[in-house]
C-alpha cells in the first residue's frame, strides 16, 4: 500500500500513516538515541517526523528498540504463552514481560494466528517473512547458526557461489554489501583471505537466498554512498574499519549491531 496521508483539516499538514520508511526509522532511532524516549507527541514533532506520537511509540517499542527479539517463537516460548494466557487471559503486555525481547504485539499476533485459530497439528507452513520480519528472524537460532549453520553446508562450491553472490550484491544491493563489509571489518572477520570468504562462510550463498531489501537495513543511503567509496577503494580489514569508524557515529553502530544480532539465518524457513 502506498503510505496514506490523513488530512486533519484544510490548511494543516498531513500526518503520515501506514508503513514506516527507512528514512523515518532512521530519524526516530537517531533522535531517541540522542535524546531518549518519552513524551511521544513532542518527540515526533521535535524529531521532525510527520507522525503522531502513538505511531512513533509503537514503531520504537515493537521494532526499533534495541533488544527487540523477533523471529520464530520457540517451543519453550510457546509453552509460556499458552500457560500465561490461560492464567491471565489476553494480557499481552503482562505476558510479554515474561518473554524478554518479545513484544505484546508479536505475542498477540502469535496467539491469534498460531494458537487460537489452529489445532496444534496444523501449525507451520510459513510463508516468506515480511521485510521487517526478515531483519530479525532468529535470535533463538541465530547465535548458533551464524557460527555453524551455513558453515555446515559450506564447501568449495559454496565459497565460489559466495563470491558470485558477493559481487552481485555489490551492484544490486550496495548498502547490504557495504554493511556486510562494515560488520565483517568491525568484528574482525575480514582476514587475509578477504571479505568474500568471510562472508561466504557465514551467510547465504546466492542472491536468491538473500532476502534483505533496502527497507530492511538501517542507514541505507549512507551505506550506499559508502559502498561506492569502498567499491573504488577496495576492501581490506584495516581500511574498512578505519573508513567506517570515521564515517559513522555510535548510533549507527548501535543500530547496525541490533540489526546483525537479529539478522535472518539461511534455512530458517
The per-type count for the chain, helices as H runs and strands as E runs, is 15, 2
Answer yes or no whether residue 108 interacts with DNA by CB under 7 A: yes
CA distances from 243 to 171, 216, 240 (A): 20, 23, 5
Answer yes or no whether residue 41 interacts with DNA by CB under 7 A: yes
CB of 41 to DNA, least distance (A): 4
Question: Which residue in 58, 80, 151, 207 binds DNA (CB under 7 A)?
Answer: 58
**Identity of the residue, 20 or 176, whose beta carbon is nearer to DNA in the bound complex:** 20
CB of 240 to DNA, least distance (A): 31
Taking the mean position of all CA atoms in its chain, how far away is CA 248? Answer: 18
Q: Which residues does 52 contact at the CB level (< 8 Å), separation at least 6?
A: 15, 41, 44
Question: Which residue in 30, 133, 180, 204 binds DNA (CB under 7 A)?
Answer: 133
Q: Distance between CA atoms of 126 and 101, rounded to whole angstroms?
A: 22
Answer yes or no whether residue 251 interacts with DNA by CB under 7 A: no
Question: Which residue in 101, 129, 162, 218 binds DNA (CB under 7 A)?
Answer: 129
Answer yes or no whether residue 38 interacts with DNA by CB under 7 A: yes
Do the beta carbons of residue 71 and residue 141 sit within 8 Å?
yes
Answer yes or no whether residue 125 interacts with DNA by CB under 7 A: yes
Q: Distance between CA atoms of 37 and 60, rounded to whole angstroms?
A: 9
| Cell triple for 261 | 544480532
Question: Which residue in 7, 35, 82, 91 binds DNA (CB under 7 A)?
Answer: 91
Question: Per residue in 16-45, is it b (16+ CB within 10 Å) or e — as a string?
Answer: beeebebebbbbbbbbbeeeeeeebeebbe
Say if residue 50 is exposed, middle or buried (CB neighbours under 10 Å; 0-12, 13-18, 19+): middle
Answer yes or no whether residue 40 interacts with DNA by CB under 7 A: yes
CB of 208 to DNA, least distance (A): 11
Question: Which residue in 33, 50, 53, 254 binds DNA (CB under 7 A)?
Answer: 53
Question: 22-35 and 250-261 are packed helices; what angle lies between their axes, rounded to 10 degrees?
Answer: 120
**Identity of the residue, 15 or 159, whose beta carbon is nearer to DNA in the bound complex:** 15
Which range touches DNA (CB under 7 A), out of 103-111, 147-155, 177-185, 193-201?
Answer: 103-111
Residues near DNA (CB under 7 A) are 1, 6, 16-20, 38-43, 51, 53-55, 57-59, 62-63, 70, 90-94, 104-106, 108-110, 112-114, 117-118, 123-133
Amino acid at each position: 500500500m502506498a503510505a496514506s496521508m490523513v488530512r486533519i483539516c484544510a490548511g494543516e499538514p498531513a500526518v503520515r500513516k501506514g508503513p514506516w520508511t527507512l528514512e523515518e526509522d532512521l530519524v526516530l532511532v537517531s533522535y531517541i538515541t540522542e535524546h531518549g524516549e518519552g513524551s511521544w507527541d513532542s518527540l515526533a514533532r521535535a524529531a521532525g517526523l510527520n507522525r503522531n506520537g502513538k505511531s512513533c511509540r509503537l514503531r520504537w517499542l515493537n521494532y526499533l528498540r534495541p533488544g527487540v527479539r523477533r523471529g520464530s517463537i520457540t517451543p519453550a516460548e510457546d509453552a509460556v504463552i499458552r500457560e500465561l494466557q490461560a492464567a491471565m487471559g489476553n494480557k499481552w503486555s503482562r505476558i510479554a514481560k515474561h518473554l524478554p525481547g518479545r513484544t505484546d504485539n508479536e505475542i498477540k499476533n502469535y496467539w491469534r494466528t498460531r494458537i487460537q485459530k489452529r489445532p496444534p497439528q496444523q501449525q507451520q507452513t510459513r510463508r516468506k517473512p515480511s521485510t521487517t520480519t526478515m531483519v530479525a528472524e532468529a535470535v533463538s537460532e541465530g547465535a548458533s547458526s551464524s557460527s555453524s549453520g551455513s558453515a555446515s553446508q559450506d564447501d568449495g562450491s559454496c565459497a565460489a557461489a559466495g563470491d558470485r553472490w558477493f559481487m552481485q550484491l555489490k551492484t544490486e544491493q550496495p548498502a547490504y554489501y557495504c554493511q556486510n563489509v562494515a560488520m565483517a571489518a568491525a568484528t574482525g572477520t575480514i582476514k587475509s583471505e578477504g571479505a568474500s570468504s568471510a562472508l561466504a562462510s557465514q551467510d547465504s550463498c546466492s542472491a536468491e537466498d538473500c532476502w534483505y531489501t533496502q527497507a530492511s537495513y538501517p542507514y541505507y543511503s549512507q551505506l550506499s554512498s559508502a559502498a561506492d567509496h569502498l567499491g573504488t577503494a577496495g576492501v581490506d580489514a584495516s581500511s574498512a574499519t578505519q573508513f567506517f569508524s570515521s564515517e559513522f557515529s555510535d548510533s549507527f553502530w548501535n543500530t547496525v549491531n541490533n540489526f546483525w544480532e537479529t539478522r535472518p539465518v539461511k534455512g530458517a524457513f
